[in-house]
Amino acid sequence: MFEGVESSTILVVEDNPTNIKVVFNLLRDVGLRVLIAKDGESALKKLEDVLPDLILLDVMMPGISGFETCHLIKENPSTQAIPVIFMTALADTENKIKGFELGAVDYITKPFQQNEVLARVNLHLKLCKLTQELAEKNRELLNLNLCLEEKVEEKTSEIKSMQSQLVLQEKMSSLGQLIAGIAHEIKNPIGFIESNLKPAYDYAENLIDLVKLYQTYYPQPVSEIRERLVNTEFDYVAEDFPQLLRSLEEGTKRLTYISQAMRTFCRSDQSLPEVFDVHQGLDSTLLILKHRLQRNEQRPAIQVIKDYDQLPLITCFPGQLNQVFMNVLANAIDALDEAYQQGEIFQGDNQGNCIIIQTRYAEADQQVWITIQDNGVGIPLAIQKQIFDYLFTTKKVGKGTGLGLSITREVMEHHQGKIEVESIPNQGTTFRLKLPVEVSFAPDNSITAS
C-alpha cells in the first residue's frame, strides 16, 4: 500500500496514551517513521528541529487546541506546506469546515478504523509526493530547451494522469463510504420495523376480535362504553387499522429497495472486476439522483424515458461505471436547469424537459451501447472537443471542477470503451457510451480486449 513512500515521517500529536500506542504501532508496522508529541506546544517545538511529511493532529488537547496548533503551523512558512489530518470524534459539519478553513486536508474519526487510517495516510503521502514531483517538473520545464517540448508534454500528461487517478479513487471511495454508511443505517431500522409488523398485525386482529366478541354477547353495554365506542369510531378503526399496517409494510419494502439500490451504486472499492447488470447500475444511479429530478422552484419535474434493450452482463468494475453514469446524468440535469434559467427549454415539445436513456446490444461486435440524451441548453460547437480535457469546465466558479467528464473518459478507456458526444446549442446533448461485453483485466488493472 505504501509503495514509494515507505521512508516517510509522520508526526502524531495526541494526548491519549492508548490512542498514541494504537496509531504508533499501526504506522510503524507498515514501515513509516513515527514521531510523537503529546500537546500542541511540544509539537510546535519539535517542528523547529524536524519537518515530517505528514501531521496527524488531535483536535481536543490540553493547552492550545488542535485548531490553534494547525493555525500556527500554517502561519509558519517552513511548515505551512506539511499536510495536516485532524483526528477527532467531533463529526459535525461545523467543526469539519473550521478544520478545512484552517488548512487541514482530511479528517480521521475516532474510534480509529485501522484500514481507514492507513488508506488516508497513504493517499495524502502520495498526494504530497506527487505535488512535490509536479513542482520539481515545473521547475525543470522552465530550463528545458524548445527542442524538448514533446518530452515535456509527455511527462506533464503522465503526472496529470496520475493525479486524476488519485482524485478519482478518493472521490469514489468517499462517495462509496458515504452511501454505504447511509444504506447501512437505513437497513437497521427497516429490519426493526419489518420484524415488528407481524406481531402488530396479530395484536390488532386479536384486540378488534375481542371488542367484536363483547359486542356480540353484550350488545347493550353501559353508557360510558357506548360513548367511548362512538368517540373512537370503532367500526372505522377496525376496518382502517389493518390497511394502515399494510401501508407501513409497503413503505418498508420501498425503503429496502432504496437501501439495496444505494449499496449497488457504491460498489466502488472492489479490487477485482465482476459481472455487472448495466440496467441495474443505471437505475441505482437514477435513484441516487431522484431528488434532483423532482420539481423545484425553477422548473417542473424532469421526465426520464427509458428504452432498454435486452443486454448481457458485462465484465467491469461496477463502481467506476456507476460513476460514469452519475457524471453524465448529472450533467444532463445541469443542462436542463440552465435551460429553464435562461428560458430556452422547448415549451412546444410534448415531452417537456426530459432525459432519454436508451440501451442497445450489438451482438455482431459484442458491444453494449448506452445513449443518454437531454433537451437542455446544448454545448457550443467551439468547445465540444474540449469538454473531456482535464480541468476544463464551462460551469460557474464553485459549480464544476473540470474533472467529471475527464474522469468519465478515463474510466471508459480503462474498460476498452468509448464515449462520444453530439450536441446542438439550445436543442440538447447526446452522450453515447460503447462498452465491450468481455474485457480481460491484467493484475495491475490495465486491460486488454478479449
Check residue 309 and give its pLDDT: 95
Q: Of 170 and 78, which is predicted with more confidence?
A: 78
- What would the pLDDT profile of 245-304 be if each residue is shown by its tens digit? 877 777 777 677 666 666 666 554 456 788 999 999 899 888 878 888 988 888 899 999
Measured distance CA(202)–CA(206) in Å, rounded: 6
205 has a pLDDT exceeding 80: yes
Q: Of 292 and 386, which is predicted with more confidence?
A: 292
Mean per-residue pLDDT for 34-42? 92
Confidence of residue 346 (pLDDT cuts 50, 70, 90): very low
343 has a pLDDT exceeding 50: yes
239 has a pLDDT exceeding 50: yes
The alpha-helical segments, DSSP class H, found in 266-353 are 278-288, 290-293, 318-342
In this structure, the number of other CB atoms found within 10 A of the CB of residue 247 comes to: 9
108-143 residues labelled b (16+ CB within 10 A) or e (exposed):
bebeeeeeebbbbbbbbbbbbeeeeeeeeeeeeeee
Measured distance CA(312)–CA(382) in Å, rounded: 38
Residue type at position 64: I
318-327 residues labelled b (16+ CB within 10 A) or e (exposed):
bbbbbbbbbb
**52 Cβ contact list (under 8 Å, min separation 6):** 8, 9, 10, 11, 35, 82
Helix (H, G, I), strand (E, B) or coil at 86: strand
> φ and ψ at 298, to 5 degrees?
-95, -25
Of 330, 302, 352, 326, the closest CA to residue 411 belongs to 326
Q: Of 392 and 27, which is predicted with more confidence?
A: 27
418 near 406, Cβ under 8 Å? no
401 has a pLDDT exceeding 90: no
Q: What is the 3-state secondary structure (H, E, C) of 17-31?
A: HHHHHHHHHHHHHCC
344 near 378, Cβ under 8 Å? no
Task: Outline where DSSP puts E strands in 351-450.
Answer: 354-362, 367-374, 418-424, 428-436, 439-441, 447-449
> φ and ψ at 369, to 5 degrees?
-110, 135
Measured distance CA(152)–CA(137) in Å, rounded: 9
Task: Outline where DSSP puts E strands in 59-119.
Answer: 84-88, 106-109
Query: Can you give the length of the chain in residues?
Result: 450
14 has a pLDDT exceeding 80: yes
- What would the pLDDT profile of 108-139 be if each residue is shown by its tens digit? 888 888 888 888 888 888 888 888 888 787 77
9-143 matches 271-449 in fold: no
Q: What is the pTM of this model?
A: 0.46
Confidence of residue 140 (pLDDT cuts 50, 70, 90): confident
Mean per-residue pLDDT for 405-430? 87
212 has a pLDDT exceeding 80: yes
Q: Of 242 and 154, which is predicted with more confidence?
A: 242
Architecture label for domain 9-143: 3-Layer(aba) Sandwich (3.40)
For the chain, the structural domain boundaries read: 9-143, 180-264, 271-449
Query: Which grid cell sits at 129?
Result: 509526493
**197 Cβ contact list (under 8 Å, min separation 6):** 245, 248, 249, 252
230 has a pLDDT exceeding 90: no
Q: Of 352 and 9, which is predicted with more confidence?
A: 9
Percent of the chain past pLDDT 70, that is, above it, reads 77
Share the mean pLDDT of the chain: 80
170 has a pLDDT exceeding 50: yes
**331 Cβ contact list (under 8 Å, min separation 6):** 404, 405, 429
> φ and ψ at 444, to 5 degrees?
-90, 10
Q: Of 168 and 39, which is predicted with more confidence?
A: 39
Any idea what DSSP says for residue 423?
A: E
Percent of the chain past pLDDT 90, that is, above it, reads 25
Strands 303-307 and 418-424: what pairing? unpaired
Topology of the domain covering 271-449: Heat Shock Protein 90 (3.30.565)
36-45, 200-209, 399-408, range with greatest mean pLDDT: 36-45
Q: Of 220 and 192, which is predicted with more confidence?
A: 220
Residue labelled with grid coordinates 496548533: 69
Check residue 243 and give its pLDDT: 80
420 has a pLDDT exceeding 70: yes
> φ and ψ at 106, to 5 degrees?
-170, 175
Q: Of 64 and 195, which is predicted with more confidence?
A: 64
Q: Of 177 and 236, which is predicted with more confidence?
A: 236
Confidence of residue 229 (pLDDT cuts 50, 70, 90): confident
20 near 11, Cβ under 8 Å? no
In terms of phi and psi (left: phi > 0; alpha: psi -120 to 50; beta: otherwise), the region of 39 is beta
In this structure, the number of other CB atoms found within 10 A of the CB of residue 218 comes to: 10
